[in-house]
C-alpha cells in the first residue's frame, strides 16, 4: 500500500477510535490516544472534529505539544483554540517554538501573550524573530528558518567535522552546509556527503560547490516550490540583496506550500477559503458562502435575460428550449478545459508575454476543430430527432460559435484577471460560465430568430 494511502487509512482509524472514546465518555482513553500521535496528526484530527468535541480533546492534550499543534492547524481553527486557552498556557506554548514557527502564529496570539513572550526572549532571538516577521508569510523570507550551519572556505574538512561533533545535533533536513566569507556573504555550499567522503585534509574551498543558486527573500512561495522542484533540493539558502546569508528553506516547508496551493486552488473555484473551519457555526459558514451564491445568481439572471429576449421565438419553436442547454453545456466544458490549462500554466510560470499569443491561437484552433467535429454530430442527431435539417444546421453553427468563443474566453480571462490583481482560480469559473452561457444562448436563439421565424 502506498505511504499516502496508509497515512489516510491511519487518520480515518484514529478519528474513528477517538469518536468512539468521546461517545463513551472515556476521556482518559482519549488523552492516551491523542498524546501518542505526532503533532501534525493531532492537528489533522482536531480539524476533523466538530467544535464541541474539538475543545474537549484540546484540553486533554499534553501542554508540550500545544505549540507545535497551533502551528499545524489552519488559521480559523487556530483562532478558536487560542480563544479557549489561558494566557499562561499560550505563553508556554509560544516559548517552546522555533523562531520561524513562532512567526507563523505570532499575529494570532493575544497582545498580553506577545508582550510576555517577546520580553522573555534573548536579544539574538528577538532579532531573529524580527528578521522573519519582516517578510510576507507567502514569500521565501516568510518560509525561511534560521537554524542553519555556516562555515568559512579556508578551513579543513577535519575542522568542520570536529565543529559538528561539538554541536552534537544537526538541524532537521540538513543535507548541506553554507559557505560564507567573514562578512557572511554567501559563496557556495558543502554537501554533507562530500564532507564525509572526501579527504579530511582538504579545505572547504577545494570541495565546495559555487554554482548553486540562492533564493531572494521576496520570491513568492509558489516560485520557491518551483525552484525546489526544478533542482530537486532538500534545502536552499536565502540571501538578501547584498548577498548576505539570512536563512534557509527546507523541503518540508515546500511540501506544505504545494499542498496549501492545491487546496487553495480547488476551494477558491467554489468561492471558499482553505483556512475556513469545516465545522464552523452554521450561520458563519452560510454568510461566507452567500457572497459567491449571490454572484452566481446575478450571472444566472444575465443568462435568463438573454433567453427572455427571444421568448417569442421559443414560443413558436418549442424544440429550441429542449436544445438550448446542449449549446451552453458544451461551451462551458470546452472553456473550462482551456481555463484550467491556462491557470495551471500561469501557476507554473510557463505562460508569459513571449508565448501567450501563440497559446491563444492554439486554443482557438483546438476550439474550432472540436466545434466542427461536435457540431456535425449534434447536427445529425438533431436533424433525425426533430426531422428538421435547418434546425440541425442551426444548432451546429451555434455550437461551433460557442466552442470557439469558449476557447477564447478560457485563454484570456485568467490573464485579464491576473493583470487586475484578481485570483483567476477564484473568479475565472464564474466569469467563464457567464460568457459561454450568454454567447451560447444568444447565438442559438439569435440564429433561430433570423432563419427559422
Is the pLDDT assigned to residue 18 strictly greater than 90? no
d(CA 28, CA 21): 9
Inter-helix orientation angle 87-95/63-72, to 10°: 80
Range of the domain at 122: 3-135
Is the pLDDT assigned to residue 289 strictly greater than 80? no
Angle at CA 52, nearest 5°, toward 48 and 53? 55
Q: How much of the chain exceeds pLDDT 90, in percent?
A: 54
DSSP codes joined into one string, 400-441? HHHHHHHHHHHHHHHHHHHHTT--HHHHHHHHHHHHHHHHHH
Q: Are 366 and 423 in contact (CB under 8 A)?
A: no
48: enclosing H helix or E strand: none
Q: Residues 194, 197, 198, 200: what is their CA dihedral angle, to the nearest 10 degrees?
A: 110
d(CA 143, CA 129): 12
Residues 287 and 412 placed together within one structural domain of the fold:
yes
Least confident of 142-156, 243-257, 278-292: 278-292
**Three cell numbers written together for 145:** 528558518
Strand order in the sheet with 186-191: 150-151, 176-180, 186-191
User: Residue 174: left (phi > 0), alpha (psi -120 to 50), or beta?
Assistant: beta
How do strand 150-151 and strand 235-239 relate by DSSP bridges? unpaired
Query: How does pLDDT run across 365-414, given as a tens digit for each residue?
Result: 999 999 999 999 999 999 999 999 999 999 999 999 999 999 999 999 99
Query: How does pLDDT run across 104-137, given as a tens digit for each residue?
Result: 899 899 999 999 988 988 887 888 888 888 898 8
- Helix (H, G, I), strand (E, B), or coil: what is residue 280? coil
Query: Can you tell me the mean pLDDT for 207-234?
Result: 93
DSSP 269: T
d(CA 294, CA 299): 9
Residue 438 lies in a domain: yes
Residue 429 lies in a domain: yes
Give pLDDT, residue 271: 62
The pair phi, psi for residue 43, each rounded to 5°, is -60, -45
Q: What is the pTM of this model?
A: 0.71
Distances (CA, A) of 95 to 38, 106, 250, 268, 326: 19, 11, 22, 35, 61
Structure confidence at residue 6 as a pLDDT band (50, 70, 90)? very low
d(CA 202, CA 182): 20
Residues 210 and 333 placed together within one structural domain of the fold:
no
Residue 436 sits in a domain of what CATH number? 1.10.357.20
Query: Can you tell me the mean pLDDT for 432-443?
Result: 93
Structure confidence at residue 2 as a pLDDT band (50, 70, 90)? very low
Structural domain ending residue among the three candidates 135, 170, 191 = 135
Structure confidence at residue 10 as a pLDDT band (50, 70, 90)? low
Residues 244 and 290 placed together within one structural domain of the fold:
no
Residues 24 and 84 placed together within one structural domain of the fold:
yes
Structure confidence at residue 344 as a pLDDT band (50, 70, 90)? confident
How do strand 186-191 and strand 150-151 relate by DSSP bridges? unpaired
Q: Are 272 and 408 in contact (CB under 8 A)?
A: no
DSSP 173: T
Residue 91 sits in a domain of what CATH number? 1.25.60.10
- Helix (H, G, I), strand (E, B), or coil: what is residue 442? helix
Residues 126 and 157 placed together within one structural domain of the fold:
no
Residue 140 lies in a domain: no
- Say how many domains are in the chain: 3
Residue 141 lies in a domain: no
Structural domain ending residue among the three candidates 93, 109, 135 = 135
Give pLDDT, residue 154: 93
Measured in whole angstroms, the distance separating CA 257 from the mean position of its chain's CA atoms is 6
Query: How does pLDDT run across 299-325, given as a tens digit for each residue?
Result: 889 989 999 999 988 988 889 999 999
Residue 227 lies in a domain: yes
Is the pLDDT assigned to residue 272 strictly greater than 70? no
Give pLDDT, residue 9: 53
Give pLDDT, residue 215: 96
- Please list, in sequence order, all residues whose beta carbon lies within 8 angstroms of the beta carbon of residue 154, skipping any fewer than 6 positions away: 203, 204, 205
Residue 276 lies in a domain: no
Residues 234 and 297 placed together within one structural domain of the fold:
no
Residue 164 sits in a domain of what CATH number? 3.10.580.10
- Cα distance from N-terminal residue to C-terminal residue, the chain: 63
Query: How does pLDDT run across 23-33, given as a tens digit for each residue?
Result: 787 888 888 88
Query: How does pLDDT run across 134-173, given as a tens digit for each residue?
Result: 898 889 999 998 888 999 999 999 999 999 999 888 998 9
d(CA 190, CA 201): 15
Residues 80 and 189 placed together within one structural domain of the fold:
no
Structural domain ending residue among the three candidates 73, 102, 135 = 135
d(CA 382, CA 388): 7
451: enclosing H helix or E strand: helix 424-451
Residues 117 and 216 placed together within one structural domain of the fold:
no
Residue 36 lies in a domain: yes
Residue 273 lies in a domain: no
Structure confidence at residue 65 as a pLDDT band (50, 70, 90)? very high
Structure confidence at residue 347 as a pLDDT band (50, 70, 90)? confident
DSSP codes joined into one string, 42-95? HHHHHHTS-HHHHHHHHHHS-HHHHHHHHHHS-HHHHHHHHHTS-HHHHHHHHH
Residues 167 and 215 placed together within one structural domain of the fold:
yes
Structure confidence at residue 91 as a pLDDT band (50, 70, 90)? very high
Structure confidence at residue 3 as a pLDDT band (50, 70, 90)? very low
Structure confidence at residue 273 as a pLDDT band (50, 70, 90)? low
Is the pLDDT assigned to residue 4 strictly greater than 50? no
Give pLDDT, residue 1: 40
Residues 241 and 308 placed together within one structural domain of the fold:
no
Amino acid at each position: 500500500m502506498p505511504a499516502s494511502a496508509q497515512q489516510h487509512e491511519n487518520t480515518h482509524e484514529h478519528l474513528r477510535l477517538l469518536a468512539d472514546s468521546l461517545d463513551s465518555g472515556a476521556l482518559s482513553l482519549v488523552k492516551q490516544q491523542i498524546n501518542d500521535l505526532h503533532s501534525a496528526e493531532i492537528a489533522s484530527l482536531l480539524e476533523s472534529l466538530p467544535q464541541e468535541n474539538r475543545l474537549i480533546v484540546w484540553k486533554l492534550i499534553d501542554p508540550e505539544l500545544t505549540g507545535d499543534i497551533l502551528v499545524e492547524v489552519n488559521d480559523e481553527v487556530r483562532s478558536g483554540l487560542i480563544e479557549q486557552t489561558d494566557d499562561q498556557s499560550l505563553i508556554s506554548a509560544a516559548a517552546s517554538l522555533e523562531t520561524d514557527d513562532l512567526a507563523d502564529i505570532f499575529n494570532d496570539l493575544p497582545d498580553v501573550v506577545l508582550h510576555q513572550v517577546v520580553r522573555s526572549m534573548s536579544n539574538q532571538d528577538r532579532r531573529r524573530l524580527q528578521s522573519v516577521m519582516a517578510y510576507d508569510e507567502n514569500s521565501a523570507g516568510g518560509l525561511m528558518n534560521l537554524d542553519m550551519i555556516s562555515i568559512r572556505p579556508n578551513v579543513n574538512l577535519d575542522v568542520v567535522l570536529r565543529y559538528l561533533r561539538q554541536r552534537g545535533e544537526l538541524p532537521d533536513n540538513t543535507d548541506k552546509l553554507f559557505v560564507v566569507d567573514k562578512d557572511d556573504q554567501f559563496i557556495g555550499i558543502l554537501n554533507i556527503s562530500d564532507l564525509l567522503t572526501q579527504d579530511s585534509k582538504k579545505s572547504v574551498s577545494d570541495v565546495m560547490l559555487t554554482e548553486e543558486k540562492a533564493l531572494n527573500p521576496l520570491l513568492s512561495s509558489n516560485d520557491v516550490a518551483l525552484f525546489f522542484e526544478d533542482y530537486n533540493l532538500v534545502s536552499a539558502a536565502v540571501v538578501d540583496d547584498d548577498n548576505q546569508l539570512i536563512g534557509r528553506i527546507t523541503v518540508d516547508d515546500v511540501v506544505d506550500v504545494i499542498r496549501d496551493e492545491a487546496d487553495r486552488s480547488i476551494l477558491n473555484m467554489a468561492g471558499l477559503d482553505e483556512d475556513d473551519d469545516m465545522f464552523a457555526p452554521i450561520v458563519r459558514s452560510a454568510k461566507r458562502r452567500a457572497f459567491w451564491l449571490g454572484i452566481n445568481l446575478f450571472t444566472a439572471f444575465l443568462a435568463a435575460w438573454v433567453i427572455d429576449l427571444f421568448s417569442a421565438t421559443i414560443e413558436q419553436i418549442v424544440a429550441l428550449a429542449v436544445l438550448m442547454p446542449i449549446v451552453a453545456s458544451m461551451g462551458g466544458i470546452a472553456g473550462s478545459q482551456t481555463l484550467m490549462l491556462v491557470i495551471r500554466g500561469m501557476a507554473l510560470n510557463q505562460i508569459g508575454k513571449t508565448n501567450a499569443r501563440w497559446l491563444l491561437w492554439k486554443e482557438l484552433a483546438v476550439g474550432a476543430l472540436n466545434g466542427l467535429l461536435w457540431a456535425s454530430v449534434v447536427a445529425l442527431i438533431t436533424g433525425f430527432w426533430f426531422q428538421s435539417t435547418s434546425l440541425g444546421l442551426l444548432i451546429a453553427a451555434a455550437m461551433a460559435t460557442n466552442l470557439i468563443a469558449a476557447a477564447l474566453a478560457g485563454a484570456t480571462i485568467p490573464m485579464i484577471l491576473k493583470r487586475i490583481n484578481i485570483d483567476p482560480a477564484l473568479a475565472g469559473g464564474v466569469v467563464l460560465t457567464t460568457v459561454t452561457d450568454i454567447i451560447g444562448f444568444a447565438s442559438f436563439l439569435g440564429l433561430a430568430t433570423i432563419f427559422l421565424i
